[in-house]
Structure 1
Amino acid sequence: MFKRVYCSIKNKNLYIEEFPKNEYLDYRGGFMKKAQGALEFLMTYGWAFLVILIMIGALAYFGVLSPTKFLPERCTFGSQFLCKDYLLDYNDGDPAISLQLQNNLGQAIYVTSVDASSQEGFGTCTDITVTDSDDTDAYDESADGSVEAISDGEYFTVTAGTCSTLGGMTEGSKYKVQVDVTYYAATSSSDFAHTVTGEIFANVEE
């Protein structure tokens, strides 16, 4: 209990709260025990937290915790082209891209150009070929575009045989590649060409 000590200043009663000595010592002793317990907790478990943080940092540094490793592969080209299959090939340091698309435009088309690039692992790809389902050339890069119409619903294969590397790409790593396919309707002309942009996100195979 507190002890009240009264005093009088100019007819005004004042009082001062005072701890009894034994209660003050008990209070101080309890406080010190709690502080000591908290310090011991930090000393005991603080090292464990530090070790865990170091391990997480090491895993992140070596790419084990890279978010791309947990993302699923995908190949998307919107409704115009269905992506049936795809491949990113490391090819002994000279990467190549292959994908199979289906013409879902509702009409036959001519392919006039194909561009493939990636900011992550590839530069712009060259040596691009397009073949239809009969393995007939539907695009000739040297001839400035199409040589064979691709029918509605028909599958065609796009390959990019040479992609300049930007470094840091290894087998098993995942990379995102953008592919732009430019075409025009077989009943129209190249003056009315359109471009469909697709995206491949996949492991780089050996």
Structure 2
Amino acid sequence: MFRKKGQAALEFLMTYGWAILVVLAAIGALAYFGVLSPDRFLPEKCTLPSGIACLDFNWHATDGFTIVIQNAQGFDMATTSITLNGTDCSGTFAVVAGAPGDDDAALVDGEKENYRLTNAGCIGLSGKYKGELSVSYTNQQTGLTHTKSGELIAKTG
């Protein structure tokens, strides 16, 4: 009599054990082929602290990264440097010639400026890129230098 209960329990465990094994194999296959990759679900974004707005950004296979930054500090600022630091791509942005507001490195309050990073390491990227965006500037009224950091997450390739 006790044997029947033991047999039923063993059959129950074996049946559901195989079902769980099949589900785990399916999840493993999806993860292996990249369907469950977290990079696919991360949104693209360019964020900087208040006062300096990253209005837009773009990655192009031959030009690298281009960003549009606006001064919303309430005072004019001289941009010392804008750098991007990441695992595959790092470098310093330069003002894009011929773009609106490319007169000099100074950003008047409310002015927008286009910057481009054409580092050779940034050209052949593929997948998602995540890096730290750092803006160093000098307050034109006080002469003090400040650095603000943000984040750039972009789809490349």
The answer as to whether partners of 2:101 and 2:112 remain within 8 angstroms in 1 is no
Name the % identity.
Answer: 40
Q: Residues 46-85 of structure 1: matches in 2 within 5 Å?
A: 46-85=17-56
Q: Residues 192-203 of structure 1: matches in 2 within 5 Å?
A: 192-203=144-155
Name the CA shift for 1:202/1:66 in 2 (closer, same or farther; >3 Å): same
The answer as to whether partners of 1:131 and 1:137 remain within 8 angstroms in 2 is no
**Separation (CA, whole Å) in 2 of partners of 1:73 and 1:32:** 61
Describe the SS at the equivalent of 2:35: coil
Name the CA shift for 1:134/1:90 in 2 (closer, same or farther; >3 Å): closer
**Separation (CA, whole Å) in 2 of partners of 1:96 and 1:48:** 48
2:102 aligned with 1:136, yes or no?
A: yes
What residue is the counterpart of 2:82 in the other structure?
114
What residue is the counterpart of 2:91 in the other structure?
125
Moved over 6 A (4+): none
Name the CA shift for 1:178/1:88 in 2 (closer, same or farther; >3 Å): farther
The answer as to whether partners of 1:125 and 1:164 remain within 8 angstroms in 2 is no
Describe the SS at the equivalent of 1:43: helix
Describe the SS at the equivalent of 1:174: strand
Unaligned runs of 5+ in 1: 1-28, 139-145
Describe the SS at the equivalent of 2:149: strand
The answer as to whether partners of 1:110 and 1:183 remain within 8 angstroms in 2 is yes
Q: How many residues align?
A: 155
**Separation (CA, whole Å) in 2 of partners of 1:83 and 1:55:** 41
Structure number, greater radius of gyration: 1
Name the CA shift for 1:137/1:54 in 2 (closer, same or farther; >3 Å): farther
**Separation (CA, whole Å) in 1 of partners of 2:134 and 2:120:** 15
What residue is the counterpart of 1:17 in the other structure?
none
Summarize deviations over 1:122-170 as a string: whole Å, max 9, x none.
Answer: 2x225x31259634243xxxxxxx4xx21101111121011526x9x42
Post-superposition offset of 1:77: 0.4
Summarize deviations over 1:174-198 as a string: whole Å, max 9, x none.
Answer: 2212111111022344xx2111112
Residue in structure 1 matching 2:67, options 84, 99, 102: 99
Post-superposition offset of 1:50: 1.1
Post-superposition offset of 1:53: 0.8
Describe the SS at the equivalent of 2:119: strand
